[in-house]
Amino acid sequence: MFLWLQDDESILDAALRAGADLPYACKGGVCATCRCKVVSGEVDMFLNYSLEKDEVEKGYVLSCQTLPKGPNVRLSFDE
């Protein structure tokens, strides 16, 4: 659990700042190493160069390019 300090801070950056050990590589929306699934809450993925349309429809996002739209966002990096 962690808090966002900046409105423009991605989920990945906020988690890394809080000490989370999450998968990532490029931080540019290209490699999909940071792909995760939204379990609950609302998010906004502002850039996507690697996920297919069906993956996005199933709730997958790139944590390096995603912002929370409200509190209590839960993600799974294990799916």
Nearest-angstrom CA–CA distance, 61 and 75: 9
* Comparison of pLDDT for 15 and 4, the residue scoring more: 15
Q: Is residue 71 part of a domain?
A: yes
Q: Is residue 4 part of a domain?
A: no
- Residue 28 belongs to domain with CATH number: 3.10.20.30
Nearest-angstrom CA–CA distance, 25 and 70: 26
Q: Write down the pTM of the prediction.
A: 0.91
Each residue of 13-38: pLDDT tens digit? 999 998 999 999 999 999 999 999 99
Rounded mean pLDDT, 47-69: 97
Nearest-angstrom CA–CA distance, 79 and 71: 22
The DSSP-derived string for 35-78 is EEEEEES-EEE---SS--HHHHHTTEEEGGGEEESSS--EEES-
Q: Is residue 67 part of a domain?
A: yes
Q: How many residues does the chain have?
A: 79
- Count of structural domains within the chain: 1
Q: Is residue 69 part of a domain?
A: yes
Q: Is residue 1 part of a domain?
A: no
